[in-house]
Chains A and B, each alone.
Chain A
């Protein structure tokens, strides 16, 4: 099964807001409220930033927010900071026997 679709890259200046999209199908993103987002810095393990579309784990900045419309989920980062520069991955539960799908990743550059 194909991975979820994310833009390869996005960029923004410090203080600005950016949004990363994650497009799937009605069998995954569109069918369930089980979308997660991960931040990954080079050489590090992914870090859970958002789960169940809109929820933030304890300790994650409220500058990070999630949403979903139809088959597309989105991660918005407001008040961009240099430390936000990283790769971001979405994932979704899927009704297929794959159980979970990941996006291909989006590289965020803070200009």
Chain B
């Protein structure tokens, strides 16, 4: 059974970088079948897929157009986790952030517990 455990700060100042980590238990970030995603949820924007990382003989990343210029998702194989870094945040980035295992076709089957991130000074 896959379990995802998120960690990171709940408060980020405007224009700074939001950084979260998702630790994976029961699977490997470097598996040839897993796809590892970040999804956020806010009252104004609803559920919004942000990006993904996955390994298929080499590492791949895809990002949502809405955040493509500001986002980096990194796999961290030594700790079996993956991270989200969102730069130059504004109040619009205030949301609950989730990590998830899954894909666009068969759905997001496993989710982290979610972290409320507020962008405020």
**Closest residue to B52 on the A side, CB-wise?**
A99
Task: Name the residue among B49, B62, B112 with the largest chain A CB count within 10 angstroms.
Answer: B49
Q: A45-B98, A48-B107, A48-B108 given as contacts; is B46 within 8 A of A3 (CB)? A: yes
A55 cross-chain contacts in B, Cβ below 8 A: 106
B75 at the interface (CB under 8 A from A): no
B65 cross-chain contacts in A, Cβ below 8 A: 97-98
**Closest residue to B68 on the A side, CB-wise?**
A97
Give the A-B contact count at a CB cut-off of 8 A.
60
In this complex, the interface size class of chain A, counting residues with CB under 8 Å from chain B, is 20 to 34
Contact with A along B95-121 (1 / 0, CB 8 A): 000100010111111011110000000
**Closest residue to B64 on the A side, CB-wise?**
A98
Task: List chain A positions with a Cβ less than 8 A from chain B.
Answer: 3, 34, 36, 38, 44-48, 50-52, 55, 57, 89, 91, 93, 97-100, 102-105
Task: List chain B positions with a Cβ less than 8 A from chain A.
Answer: 46-49, 62, 64-65, 98, 102, 104-109, 111-114
6 closest Cβ pairs, A-B complex: A36-B107, A51-B107, A45-B111, A102-B47, A93-B104, A34-B105
